[in-house]
Amino acid sequence: MVGPMISMGNNDLGPPWLKPLLKASYFIPCRTHGDSNKSECNYFCLDCMGNALCSLCLIHHRDHRIVQIRRSSYHNVIRVNEVQKHIDISGVQHYVINSAKIVFLNERPQLRPGKGVTNTCEICARSLLDSFRFCSLGCKLEGMKRGDPDLTFNLRIKYNRDSFHNSESEDSSTPKKLRMNRLIDTQISSDGSKDSGENYSRFNDEMAFNLSPATPPINSYRTGRRRKGIPHRAPF
């Protein structure tokens, strides 16, 4: 069951960290750890919403939400399994790079669409598959700024149906014998009179009619071992 959407930012334009994520400068030397071999900034902290981070900076963000930015064809990308936990990326085309699904952060304008292309990005006109509207997260954000009510970065909460039927779920996981005893106990405890034994007997009799009959015993029709008959020689 799908519940109400979570509000993530002003004007429904996504969480407050989305714009800093798209505008940050990646794959440049870290200002703090520039002398290290691992000083390339390819991480971003969704909680601090500051500049890009290098791997040595992550020690100061142990309990924060960190995403890794990667590079493809000189453009910044992020893996789908990392970003879709935080925002709704529907409408943005996925690409597969090194056996992993990714989405691009910002637009990639294309002056001439490919031959036979029937669908392009609504913002930068890049060629897309028919089931997508945008080529990047940045293009979807620009589409939302135009006031399209069908676009959102807000995630939807998925409720478990069992949460609305706790009693039914509990009974379904309880063995039949225990459920029967629970019903008997409930019947007895609900009556505050002294003749609880009569209630128990009456309830037990009522339950006997509802229960399926027991499996009949298997009767053996062989009353004893048959004696071996007199052997006869075959005729010549």
Residue extents of the structural domains in the chain = 17-146
Please give the Cα distance from 165 to 182 (Å, whole number): 18
pLDDT of residue 43: 96
Tokens 């970065």 belong to: 153
Q: What is the pLDDT along the chain (236 residues), one digit of tens a residue?
A: 333 434 444 446 889 999 999 999 999 999 888 788 888 999 999 999 999 999 999 999 999 999 999 999 899 999 999 999 999 999 999 999 989 999 999 998 887 777 788 899 999 999 999 899 999 999 999 999 998 888 999 987 654 554 444 544 444 444 555 555 544 444 444 444 444 444 545 545 544 444 444 555 555 555 556 666 676 677 65
CA 197 to chain centre: 51
Phi, psi angles (nearest 5°) of residue 161: -60, -30
